[in-house]
Amino acid sequence: MGLLRFRTRLPRRTEVILGLAGLFAFLVAWHLTAVSGLIKPQFLPTPWAVVEAFGRLFTERNFAADIAISIGRVWAAFALSVIVAVPLGLMMSSYRAVGATLEPFVDFVRYLPVPALVPLLIIWFGVGEASKIAVLWMGTFFQLLLLVQDDTKRVPAEFVESGFTLGASQWQIMRDIIVPASLPNIVDNLRITLGWCWTYLIIAEIVAASSGVGHVIWSLRRFVKTPEVMAGIVAIGIVGLLTDQAFRYAHRRWFRYQDRS
């Protein structure tokens, strides 16, 4: 068996089998713990009870609409972050004056925990959609800004200097060299930032919402419907996993030139 050879590669099929086996082992351990009677069912239902609850969420509560609302909020806030952070990050790395002006402020805001901002944002924007999007935006924009600045700063000086000596203007170098050179890293960071959006979304929906996945989980908690609460968490995981895989797939498609094989 070459499975445990130090730092070796494995066939794709073997990796998939190992991944599924790990997941299966986790479910078996969970099931055995749940049916052993050591923990009360209202604290730890069986995996199957969670699956059943998952079905009930959709048939009895119109959970699909809540998921759609949550996804809409995440993407609206994410899009607003990206639209501002990408050009601004580019400017910060290209022009030292812009970077020096904004960095201290951005660093300050970046260290503020987003939950601490929620009360303020509710005072400002009420309990409607605006406050939720504001929470997500505050949580992602400043992080993304610095990530984009970093990605664009890492474009090799030779690329930029080649551009100048090939006759490109500053603006053309930004458009034709900095952007394409840093885009693979930026897209990767967008994927990671989108994951954070979900964290902040659930916080926002628990605190002030009458719809969305976070609201559903929080309101079911009051009736100790543990299987449904867990099913809600699983739903977030599934949406996150699908989004992540979509991003990875797009990354491979768009940046095929990075393939080495």
> Which residues are at the interface with another protein (CB under 8 A)?
156, 158-159, 161-162, 164-169, 172, 176-177, 180-181, 183, 255-260
Tell me whether residue 68 or residue 183 sits nearer to another protein (CB atom).
183
- Contact call for residues 124 and 134 (beta carbons, < 8 A): yes
Shortest distance, position 110 Cβ to another protein, whole Å: 29
Tell me whether residue 10 or residue 166 sits nearer to another protein (CB atom).
166
Shortest distance, position 190 Cβ to another protein, whole Å: 17
Shortest distance, position 37 Cβ to another protein, whole Å: 58
Shortest distance, position 162 Cβ to another protein, whole Å: 5
Tell me whether residue 40 or residue 154 sits nearer to another protein (CB atom).
154
Shortest distance, position 171 Cβ to another protein, whole Å: 11
- Contact call for residues 75 and 198 (beta carbons, < 8 A): no
Tell me whether residue 101 or residue 162 sits nearer to another protein (CB atom).
162
Tell me whether residue 39 or residue 166 sits nearer to another protein (CB atom).
166
